[in-house]
Amino acid sequence: MAALAAAAACSDKSSVTNQVSSPPPQLVCDADNGGITLPPGFCAVVVADLVVGGKPAAARHIAATPNGDLYVAINNPSNSNPAFGIVALRDTNGDGKADMQSQFSPNLGGSGIAWADGNLYFGANDRIMRYSLPDGQLTPTADPQVVVSGLPATGDHVSKTLVFANAQTLFVNIGSASNSCQVNNRKLQSPGVNPCPELPIRAGVWTFNPAGTNQTEANGHHYASGYRNMVALDVNPSNGNLYGVMQGRDMLADNFPQLFTAEQQAVLPNEEFVRITDGSNNGWPYCYYDDQTHHAKMLAPEYGGDGVETSGNGFDCSTFNQPLATFGAHWSPDGMHFYSGTQFPQHYRGGLFVVFHGGFNRAPLPNEGYKVMFLPMGSDGNPSGPAEVFADGFAGPSTNLPADAVHRPVGVAQGPDGSLYFSDDKAGRIWRVVFKQ
């Protein structure tokens, strides 16, 4: 991984950061920070409220370029008017608000987007495309090249996330097709399939050559397995390692009421923050993480677990990759970013921002998530302190159901001056967060 770290230090991603230490003086934050709360000294401006066919756009991940342009992946495949999958945004006067906007790319549905060396990569649900955008060009003039096609795009988890390790390596998550690899997905008492047939082609992370064309999944390298759904992925520029926060399983009590109470289901399993190494296995679907009572990976009920056992039926959950930290159950992590700028105070530099979309399956407790958490990181690549709330208030007054939330945050990107951008796939809002104290 030392070579990865050296390459990452020279990558385009690093060049986007550490160029400017303060936002432009003409940027004026919104009086209400666009509806969110932030720590003292921080404020936010609404860059844009994106619309597709007269309705709020499902704004997913964001990519920022060295000149400050933003590209937002749009996941509105059922809305064909207009038919586009990417929105490009440019602020020409430095006030923080986008005054130029363009739309392009086929309306395929997609979540992942990344920028590298004058190229924009779009992770549609079933493919990865590459657009050439040289010399500050906001909108491509040529059709995209297909980097990879035929990626699995059915079942429970179809969103792809794109993260560059270096110019030769593009990480792509491929989520599981099911909740816990049952014979009958999400059904009462249905046992798990052993071995789970999804693992060779899903529920993991692959690497591809970003300069290639017309690759298939078979052309990629199966980097890591047993990761149920790793929409939140990023490379830590301080060491070149890949990290993620996994979306944990659902329905412990719904499917196995003789073993779990509704209250246990609401707080289990914890979302896991993990370091993902080549060849690692996180244990899905055979194990889940309990940081409430046992502080260990537990054997899943589909594979003989009872909420107490950590091994059985040939599985030892202690042998799988273990989390570095955990977050609340069913918070649905969707985006993450290691901060490498200098605009924010020292406390935040090198630390991790994790965007939680907010989930379900927490009844009878209130739904949670709908926030951005910050996790300080040490020079050893491990958390150096507890996680803390950075941005909150996205959901608004009611969080009983995800459908009731005003905003559901998804993506995060860092601009060339060290500002952070957050996206929202419920109301199509893009925020820019700056430190102005």
Cβ neighbour number for residue 345 with a 10 Å cutoff: 12
Q: Are 394 and 402 in contact (CB under 8 A)?
A: no
Query: Rounded to the nearest 5 degrees, what angle is found at the Cα of 9, between the Cα atoms of 226 and 230?
Result: 20
pLDDT score for 77: 72
Query: Is pLDDT at 3 greater than 80 in this prediction?
Result: no
Residue 149, SS3 per DSSP: strand
- Please give the residue that has the higher pLDDT: either 168 or 3: 168
Query: Is pLDDT at 7 greater than 50 in this prediction?
Result: no
Structure-token pair, residue 378: 């040490």
* Mean pLDDT of the 331-358 span: 98
Query: Is pLDDT at 189 greater than 50 in this prediction?
Result: yes
Q: Are 287 and 312 in contact (CB under 8 A)?
A: no
Q: Are 147 and 121 in contact (CB under 8 A)?
A: yes
Structure-token pair, residue 68: 């400050």
Query: Which of 68, 23, 76 has its CA nearest to residue 50?
Result: 76
pLDDT score for 15: 36
pLDDT band at 106 (very low <50, low <70, confident <90, very high): confident
pLDDT score for 21: 66
Residue 31 amino acid letter: A
Which residue is associated with the tokens 């979540």? 111
pLDDT band at 82 (very low <50, low <70, confident <90, very high): low
What residues are paired with 221 via a beta bridge? 207
Q: Cα–Cα distance between 118 and 366 in angstroms, integer? A: 44
Phi, psi values for residue 74, rounded to 5° = -115, 130
Structure-token pair, residue 36: 């969110």
pLDDT band at 8 (very low <50, low <70, confident <90, very high): very low
pLDDT score for 133: 95
Strand 242-246 relative to strand 271-276: parallel, antiparallel, unpaired?
antiparallel
pLDDT score for 192: 98
pLDDT score for 429: 98
Query: Is pLDDT at 199 greater than 70 in this prediction?
Result: yes
Query: Is pLDDT at 17 greater than 70 in this prediction?
Result: no
- Please give the residue that has the higher pLDDT: either 53 or 36: 36
* Mean pLDDT of the 227-253 span: 98
User: What is the strand order of the sheet 110-116 is part of?
Assistant: 110-116, 119-124, 127-132, 145-149
* Mean pLDDT of the 12-30 span: 66
pLDDT score for 334: 98
Structure-token pair, residue 200: 């060779």
* Mean pLDDT of the 134-148 span: 94
Q: What is the mean pLDDT of the chain?
A: 93
Give pTM, 2 decimals: 0.94
pLDDT score for 80: 60
Structure-token pair, residue 250: 């659902």
* Mean pLDDT of the 337-356 span: 98
Share of the chain above pLDDT 90, in %: 86
Query: Which of 353, 371, 358, 341 has its CA nearest to residue 401?
Result: 358
- Domain 2-431 is of which CATH architecture? 6 Propeller (2.120)
First-residue to last-residue Cα distance in the chain = 38
pLDDT in tens, 257-274: 999 999 999 999 999 999
Q: Are 42 and 435 in contact (CB under 8 A)?
A: yes
pLDDT in tens, 361-370: 999 998 899 9
pLDDT in tens, 382-423: 999 999 999 999 999 876 788 899 999 999 999 999 999 999
pLDDT band at 108 (very low <50, low <70, confident <90, very high): confident
Structure-token pair, residue 375: 């996790």
pLDDT band at 49 (very low <50, low <70, confident <90, very high): very high
Phi-psi region at 300: left, alpha or beta (left = phi > 0; alpha = psi -120 to 50):
beta
pLDDT score for 79: 67
What residues are paired with 335 via a beta bridge? 355
